[in-house]
Structure 1
């Protein structure tokens, strides 16, 4: 498992996700946002993600 920072391309708040892959992290966020929307549904292409390398932090850190 890795930590991913998933960011909406157009608008919205980024999310920090623990997942096996970048694509799984994005899909989790898409599914999360879509459960609250009726009209416009988000798609995988609406988001991008990057790995957060936890080994680079020398101290405990809050990721928000």
Structure 2
């Protein structure tokens, strides 16, 4: 079961990299190593931050669907 979970994590991380989203685990490792005094973003905050960085905020000259 642990092996399946590991494979699914690799697939998820690979899919995220294909659309330009970095690994949350890599972010946490970086924060621990370089900014131990700062509170890291939650996984949801990290994902939202990466989406805004990549596509901008809708309605403000960034990516818009319609």
Name which structure has the greater RCO, CA cutoff 8 Å, separation 6+.
1
Which has the larger strand fraction? 1
More helix by share: 2
